[in-house]
Amino acid sequence: MRELMRTNDPVLLSYVEALLTEVGIDVTVLDVNMSILEGSLGVLPRRAMVAEHHLPKAIKVLQDADLDQWLSDDARR
């Protein structure tokens, strides 16, 4: 699994999940419970993870949706 993006915005995360699911890419969201526990102060963002072999396609989907500014450093490598 590779990290695609990090965010504290549940609406953005839901949108990205919908975009990726629509093209057949499974998304795993990590740190949901930790993000809730810390009180949404922005200390622990949620991470959207995709399988290594889906990463290039997932990046392209985010770029096409003009969301590439949200790509994590890990996804850009």
What residue ranges do the domains of the chain occupy?
2-76
Distance between CA atoms of 56 and 77, rounded to whole angstroms? 11
Select from 2.40.10.220, 2.60.40.10, 3.90.226.30, 3.30.70.790 the CATH code of 2-76: 3.30.70.790
pLDDT value at position 15? 98
Residue 10 pLDDT:
87
pLDDT tens-digit profile of 29-62?
998 776 555 555 666 789 999 999 999 999 999 9
